[in-house]
Amino acid sequence: MAPVKKKIAIMTSGGDSPGMNGVVRACVRMALHMGCDAYCVYEGYEGLVRGGDYIRKMAWDDVRGWLSEGGTLIGTARCMEFYERPGRLTGAKNMVLNGIDALIICGGDGSLTGADKFRAEWPSLLDELVEKKELTKDQVAPYKHLNIVGTVGSIDNDMSGTDATIGGYSALSRICEMVDYIEATASSHSRAFVIEVMGRHCGWLALMAGVATGADFVFIPEKPREDNWKEEMCSIVQKHRSLGKRKTIVIIAEGAHDKYSNKITPEMIKDLLADPKGLHLDTRITTLGHVQRGGTAVAYDRMLATLQGVEAVKAVLEATPETETCFIAITENKIVRRPLMQAVIDTKAVAKAIEAQDFDKAMSLRDTEFADQYASYMLTTTANLSTQFQLPKDKRMKIGFINVGAPAGGMNAAIRAGVAYCISRGHEPVAIHNGFAGFARHHGDSPLGAVRSFDWLEVDGWASKGGSEIGTNRELPKESGMEHIASLVKKYKFDALFLIGGFEAFHAVSQLRIAREEFPSLRIPMTVLPATISNNVPGTEYSIGSDTCLNELIDYCDKIKQSASAARRRVFVIETQGGRSGYVATLAGLGVGAVAVYTPEEGVSLGMLEADVRHLKDVFAKDKGQSRAGRLILINEKASKVYTAKLIADIIREEAHDHFESRDSIPGHVQQGGVPSPMDRCRAARLAIKCIQHLENFGRDAADRVMSDPMSSTVIGIRGASVVFTPMKEAEEKETDWANRRPIDEHWMYMKGTVDILGGRPAYPKPEQRLTGLKAKDAKRGLD
């Protein structure tokens, strides 16, 4: 007798958050891929109790197009019945009747706690159902144990044990978008705005929005101000106004309070700002409310939802009766399984610490990034206001800021944060305009290549600006003339260099490091902060600008897919940027549900195209017209020298024989984005401050130490679960594929298989592996 298929149910519960549909899609398709039957429980625990049509078997095409939908399409509802044992008894009966003993839940800590209790009670619930003769022993025999896995959907990002919850960055994106709009009108009328955001026990949204938008003041539950918060806020706002700022933005979490747990309301802040005897500012209150939950999921949440959904299916199939209930988490860039109830206990401990007015403990229970971002925010908002953090004059440095490579979202936010830190410490931050080309050809303070000290008011508004305000250029120091660059570094008496950019910035620091032997003026500390949409810099798994790029590209693809859907039988082949790295194409393919992705790492062959065309013909032959979802193929700009997006579209059109259509589309430089994403802004601020602190450790006149310490020329990066500095020499020799301008080991490569599985792409012949470029032993040749 053939074994009975495993049946997995997927449910969303608690509040809705953007990205939940991505979890459901991934779970359904991964379950089907693994040979299981997939069911959706509609309306959360309510549907589990009601049974019947609320528990539905799902087919592959039932979840097509769900990635770009907001909210949760299978619904969520509070269910008081499930809180009581009779309700859970009915839920257990409905699951057995449907043959289900594996449940994946996407919800908050309350929903997941309820699921763990349901699992613990499961054997006794089945016994009671048999005892009451509602089910027979034979009916319950195959379902003795219930396996449950959780994924966390919450816009508050308030779950311990994970860096991000599904929906958090989408909500933050919505908040920052609204604040950016509000800032424009605030500046026009010289007004103050008090903006209330969600977060009863968690200030993540308020804090990150403060960092990302450069707000004047932020109130969060975990870290209330001292007794003098009114005076502190007013003095900071007054100082900012005296510097010439025309707008004032104060962001407050709904759970804000003072250190004695007295609630602080937007009205209280408005009265302070508008007080005729004080600041007397024309002040408005905006409560963003449920707009924060609205809209489609951003690229990061789509990636998170998809990868966590895939891992949840694997986890629930591998679970045993002895396995502790787990939830799927992310630590920096790693998808991991964590004990559910420990995370719930830790999450509740934050609220208890806040209630007990133990705010140091509350902050310590948040992750490292939260504390780093709070420190970043305090540094940037109080820059130029106090001299208490300034170093003695003999330890103050002159630090050159230079952008190298193509523009990337977040470059300006990084400069703003770096300048703020410099000012707070007494250093002199100096802008080198238009990269090394501008540096080499500048004349005094000519705008074509000025070298000048930053003005704080000038950079204060840069947090939300795209592009590069000080310009950027791809030219390397050797191309500009190394001797000339060395003489200019000497002329301006730089004590350190801070480079922001992509592979060119990485290559530039490499060249400068090697040139130190010949030119003493280059014996200064230097570090590079990776910023490129391609995310191809060795030493890091994340480059500033890559998130902005993915958001723009996915938004573009959603619109193209809508066009393809309207015409029904149409395939679009979209060319993405990314140089010789397939990161952008792969992650965008994950976020839009592409049927195929072509990358430079894998290449493109005629056999591959033939298999994909055959698959498309099969798909459209089976599609009777009931489905509206169009199909997308993504190809990296350098995946093949021959097979371009247009040629592939032409081949598909020719082979379709009028059964369906094909078009090509090239978004081009749209992918660099306009306004940088909140993630790029926040990470830019955090990493830039760490870079300046690293340079500061060397101090002035550090030539001897610079020559003996490999950490004097570095690249900062997020790797695994840590922010680390990698010595440039090590990165050059062990991690860089110079010919292809990318890391030798690319952390995201495993996602390509996930794109293929969830896109329904059948097996295809792999292209012959080409020479992948210079490896470690040949690396130095790439420096020439």
Is 145 annotated as contributing to ligand binding?
A: no
Contact present, 153 and 169 (Cβ < 8 Å): no
Is 532 annotated as contributing to ligand binding?
A: yes
Is 443 annotated as contributing to ligand binding?
A: no
Is 254 annotated as contributing to ligand binding?
A: yes
Contact present, 416 and 454 (Cβ < 8 Å): no
User: Among positive and negative, which fits the CA dihedral 500, 502, 507, 508?
Assistant: negative
Contact present, 758 and 60 (Cβ < 8 Å): no
Q: What gap in Å lies between CA 296 and CA 73, rounded to an integer?
A: 12
Is 424 annotated as contributing to ligand binding?
A: no
Is 109 annotated as contributing to ligand binding?
A: yes
- Please give the structure tokens belonging to residue 318: 């591998």
Measure the CA dihedral 702/707/710/714, to 10°: 60
Mapped onto helix, strand or coil, the DSSP state of residue 572 is strand
Is 15 annotated as contributing to ligand binding?
A: yes
Q: What gap in Å lies between CA 169 and CA 3, rounded to an integer?
A: 42
Is 154 annotated as contributing to ligand binding?
A: yes
Is 474 annotated as contributing to ligand binding?
A: yes
Contact present, 254 and 196 (Cβ < 8 Å): yes
Is 570 annotated as contributing to ligand binding?
A: yes
Q: What gap in Å lies between CA 80 and CA 457, rounded to an integer?
A: 54
**3-state SS string for 2-16:** CCCCCEEEEEECCCC
Contact present, 68 and 37 (Cβ < 8 Å): no
Which residues touch 257 (CB under 8 Å, ≥6 apart)?
A: 221, 224, 263, 264
Q: Which residues of 206-234 are buried (b: 16+ CB within 10 A; e: fewer)?
A: bbbbbbbbbbbbbbbbbbbbeeebbeebb
Which residues share a beta bridge with 285? 194
Q: How many alpha carbons fall within 13 Å on the CB side of residue 216?
A: 28
Is 366 annotated as contributing to ligand binding?
A: no
Is 568 annotated as contributing to ligand binding?
A: no
Q: What gap in Å lies between CA 73 and CA 104, rounded to an integer?
A: 16
Is 669 annotated as contributing to ligand binding?
A: yes
CB atoms within 10 A of CB 51: 16
Is 453 annotated as contributing to ligand binding?
A: no
Q: Which residues of 402-425 are buried (b: 16+ CB within 10 A; e: fewer)?
A: bbbbbbbbbbbbbbbbbbbbbbbb
Q: Give how far the C-alpha of residue 499 lies from the chain's centroid of Cα atoms, to the nearest Å.
A: 23
Annotated active-site residue 156? The verdict is yes
Is 427 annotated as contributing to ligand binding?
A: no
Is 717 annotated as contributing to ligand binding?
A: no
Is 579 annotated as contributing to ligand binding?
A: yes
Is 65 annotated as contributing to ligand binding?
A: no
Contact present, 513 and 484 (Cβ < 8 Å): no
Is 292 annotated as contributing to ligand binding?
A: yes
Closest to 269 in 3D by CA, of 770, 279, 24: 279
Report strand pairing: 596-598 vs 631-636. parallel
Is 156 annotated as contributing to ligand binding?
A: yes
Is 513 annotated as contributing to ligand binding?
A: no
Is 198 annotated as contributing to ligand binding?
A: yes
Is 19 annotated as contributing to ligand binding?
A: no
Burial status of residue 629 (CB atoms within 10 A of its CB: 0-12, 13-18, 19 or more):
middle
Q: What gap in Å lies between CA 82 and CA 113, rounded to an integer?
A: 12
Contact present, 252 and 219 (Cβ < 8 Å): yes
Is 290 annotated as contributing to ligand binding?
A: yes
Among residues 156, 547, 555, 664, the one annotated as catalytic is 156
Contact present, 397 and 532 (Cβ < 8 Å): no
Is 199 annotated as contributing to ligand binding?
A: yes
Residue at 480: amino acid letter? S
Is 189 annotated as contributing to ligand binding?
A: no
Is 741 annotated as contributing to ligand binding?
A: yes
Is 63 annotated as contributing to ligand binding?
A: no
CA distances from 463 to 180, 380, 445, 561 (A): 10, 10, 25, 32
Q: What gap in Å lies between CA 540 and CA 735, rounded to an integer?
A: 10
Is 174 annotated as contributing to ligand binding?
A: no
Q: Give how far the C-alpha of residue 34 lies from the chain's centroid of Cα atoms, to the nearest Å.
A: 28
Q: Would you name the residues annotated as active-site residues?
A: 156
User: Which residues make up each annotated binding site for substrate?
Assistant: 154-156, 191, 198-200, 254, 284, 290-293
Binding-site sequence positions: 15, 78-79, 108-111, 154-156, 191, 198-200, 254, 284, 290-293, 474, 532-536, 570, 577-579, 637, 663, 669-672, 741
Binding residues for beta-D-fructose 2,6-bisphosphate: 474, 532-536, 570, 577-579, 637, 663, 669-672, 741
* Residues placed in the known binding site for ATP: 15, 78-79, 108-111
Give the residue numbers of the binding site for Mg(2+): 109
